[in-house]
């Protein structure tokens, strides 16, 4: 799989995670808010903010770490002036047995453009695993197809 494909996949996965909203003391609402914040941070091309949402033990595809995520985002953000993440369908839930783990599965469309018209677009099925770190949900695992 090429670096470009991996980069798009990462981007799509993050987007899906951020497709919800919520807040307060409700863990489900907080998880959905983390997913929405991730999407917002990707679309704003804020590498630092996205990295803040990654758990210290983050892994994508069981081998790609935070440094890979940083390099990939930097490359994508430099290549595309505009980035849009479209969640075509998503489902987030908290593990019934381990309440400090949450999951998001989504179908995501990711597009990049130099102007108003996208010059690249991809569809991904993403799976995200979130870990509760104190009071914040952090993205710990990412996979995509």
Instruction: Indicate whether 16 belongs to any domain.
Output: no
Number of domains the chain contains: 1
Q: pLDDT (tens digit, 9 = 90+) per residue, 61-76? A: 999 999 999 999 999 8
Instruction: Indicate whether 18 belongs to any domain.
Output: no
Instruction: Indicate whether 3 belongs to any domain.
Output: no
Residue 33 is predicted with a pLDDT of 96
Instruction: Indicate whether 99 belongs to any domain.
Output: yes
Alpha-helix runs per DSSP H in 2-102:
3-17, 27-43, 47-53, 66-79
Domain span including residue 104: 24-142
Q: Three-class SS of residue 6?
A: helix
What percentage of the chain reaches a pLDDT higher than 70? 78
Q: pLDDT (tens digit, 9 = 90+) per residue, 76-108? A: 888 878 888 888 889 999 999 999 999 999 998
Instruction: Indicate whether 14 belongs to any domain.
Output: no
Question: Which tokens belong to 99?
Answer: 């309440």
Q: What is the mean pLDDT of residues 41-66?
A: 96
Instruction: Indicate whether 107 belongs to any domain.
Output: yes
Q: Which residues pair with 92 in a beta bridge?
A: 104
Strand order in the sheet with 101-113: 54-60, 136-144, 120-133, 101-113, 82-94
Instruction: Indicate whether 101 belongs to any domain.
Output: yes
List the CATH number of the domain containing 110. Answer: 3.10.450.50
pTM, to two decimals: 0.79
Exposed/middle/buried for 116, CB within 10 Å: 0-12, 13-18, 19+? exposed
């Amino acid at each position: 799989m090429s670096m470009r494909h991996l980069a798009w996949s990462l981007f799509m996965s993050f987007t899906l995670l951020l497709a919800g909203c919520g807040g307060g003391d409700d863990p489900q609402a907080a998880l959905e808010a983390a997913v929405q914040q991730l999407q917002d941070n990707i679309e704003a091309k804020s590498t630092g903010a996205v990295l803040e949402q990654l758990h210290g033990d983050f892994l994508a595809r069981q081998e790609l770490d935070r440094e890979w995520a940083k390099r990939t985002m930097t490359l994508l953000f430099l290549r595309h002036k505009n980035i849009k993440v479209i969640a075509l369908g998503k489902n987030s839930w908290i593990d019934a047995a381990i309440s400090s783990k949450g999951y998001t599965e989504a179908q995501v469309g990711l597009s990049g453009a130099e102007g108003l018209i996208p010059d690249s677009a991809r569809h991904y099925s993403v799976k995200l695993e979130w870990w509760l770190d104190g009071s914040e949900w952090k993205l710990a695992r990412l996979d995509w197809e």
